């Protein structure tokens, strides 16, 4: 389960001016268990990828996701 706000997302849609060249994805996880539950991956440009079942969702800058294990809602904001 994910929720992507359709309106009022604080503007992070513009490309950042920093010359970041690494494409490393950062893992965003819930730490409710010994092995973290991966909620999404994102990079420093603000692009967020969430995999739900066999579908991918893309968000930019801001996302909410519920941990499939503990049900806690988490909010990710990339600044
Ligand atoms: Zn959890």
Q: What is the pTM of this model?
A: 0.65
Asked whether residue 8 is domain-assigned, the answer is no
pLDDT at 69 over 90: yes
Question: What separation in Å is there between the alpha carbon of 18 and the centre of ligand 1?
Answer: 33
Asked whether residue 16 is domain-assigned, the answer is no
For 1, half-sphere exposure in the C-beta direction (CA atoms, 13 angstrom radius) is: 10
Question: For the chain, how many structural domains are there in total?
Answer: 1
CA distance 74 to 13: 21
Asked whether residue 3 is domain-assigned, the answer is no
Question: What separation in Å is there between the alpha carbon of 77 and the centre of ligand 1?
Answer: 18
Asked whether residue 4 is domain-assigned, the answer is no
Asked whether residue 10 is domain-assigned, the answer is no
Beta pairing, strands 26-30 & 2-3: unpaired
pLDDT, residue 62, reads 95
Asked whether residue 1 is domain-assigned, the answer is no
Asked whether residue 62 is domain-assigned, the answer is yes
Per-residue pLDDT of 11-67, as tens digits, reads: 455 555 555 556 688 999 999 999 999 999 999 899 999 987 789 899 999 999 999
- Boundaries of domain holding 61: 24-79
For residues 60 and 47, the answer to whether their CB atoms sit within 8 Å is: yes
Question: What separation in Å is there between the alpha carbon of 43 and the centre of ligand 1?
Answer: 21
Question: What separation in Å is there between the alpha carbon of 49 and the centre of ligand 1?
Answer: 18
Asked whether residue 69 is domain-assigned, the answer is yes
């Amino acid at each position: 389960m994910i929720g992507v706000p359709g309106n009022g997302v604080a503007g992070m849609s513009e490309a950042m001016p920093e010359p970041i060249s690494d494409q490393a994805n950062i893992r965003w996880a819930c730490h409710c268990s010994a092995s973290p539950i991966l909620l999404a991956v994102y990079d420093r440009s603000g692009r967020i990828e969430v995999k739900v079942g066999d579908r991918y969702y893309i968000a930019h800058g801001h996302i909410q996701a519920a941990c499939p294990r503990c049900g806690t809602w988490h909010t990710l904001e990339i600044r």
